[in-house]
Amino acid sequence: MRLATWNINSVRLRAEQVARFVREQAPDVLCLQEIKCQESEFPTQAFIDMGLPHLAIRGQKGFHGVAIASRLPLEPAADLEACREGHARSVSVKVAGIEVHNLYIPAGGDTPDREGNPKFDHKMDFFERLTANMAARDPNAPLILTGDLNVAPGENDVWSHRQMLKVVSHTPPELEAMARLHAALNFIDLPREAIPEPQKLYSWWSYRAADFRASNRGLRLDHILASPGLRQAAFATGSVQARVHDTVREWEKPSDHAPVSVDLIL
């Protein structure tokens, strides 16, 4: 089963790009963030035509929004209820026996100050709720946590560790929050297993750069975390088969995020 995650930055605007990605990479399960539409506005027929007819959508007018599109049947799973603001930032399903949680964690605003910046406080609260939920789970149960988590957790997940330590997405409180989340269920960071340190690994590049490859000031904000119960499925071929599809970032009018995928042998 190939699972992919992609912050699409408006699914209606980029439905044709999604179709191209599906043709070229054949994901069985596609987790999208920032769909930026309500459920009734989602381009359902386009996904049926792509061969991803099974849909779980949580939309919101003009903002946020997450969706899971699948070749395989989906069963509903309990929402994580990690967003105190009630935003459409998570959708949960069971597919092929795996519980999949697709997340769009708040970006956090401009300053890493919980008292002075409500957006950052919201982000940290989201992580705290999510971590508490995961800590109560059975680590042997097959579970994937994926999506745009809006934290680049490692020194080689950012273009400059020294400079980014003061920038929201890589500040010490966020790195600590991400580490606590990883430890809560002893998560396996699948893309990092496939592309180990010290290689640089990014999934997001700013629109400000005229040539994102030339500047290469990227961040790894998009993640696929697996519970220990999926270790055998992830390492079935001897190594994890995961990648960032950075060529998608070269397409015309792309999202600022590239898709990330992993193959599981079930």
Q: Which pair of structure tokens corresponds to residue 115?
A: 């008292």
Share of the chain above pLDDT 90, in %: 99
Give the Cα separation of 76 and 78 in Å (integer).
Answer: 7
- 210 — pLDDT class (breaks 50, 70, 90): confident
**CA-wise closest residue to 19 among 205, 251, 203:** 251
Mean pLDDT (the chain) is: 98
Across 41-45, average pLDDT: 98
In which band, very low, low, confident or very high, does the pLDDT at 65 lie, cut at 50, 70 and 90? very high
Domain count, the chain: 1
Residue 83: give the domain boundaries. 2-263
**The model scores a pTM over 0.85:** yes
Whether the Cβ atoms of residue 135 and residue 185 lie closer than 8 Å to each other = yes
CATH number at residue 23: 3.60.10.10
Query: Which two structure tokens, joined as six digits, stand for 186?
Result: 């002893």
**Share of the chain residues as helix, strand and coil, in percent rounded to the nearest 5:** 30, 25, 45
Which of the four pLDDT bands, split at 50, 70 and 90, describes residue 130? very high
Mean pLDDT of 183-203: 98
How many other CB atoms are there within 10 angstroms of residue 229's CB atom? 18
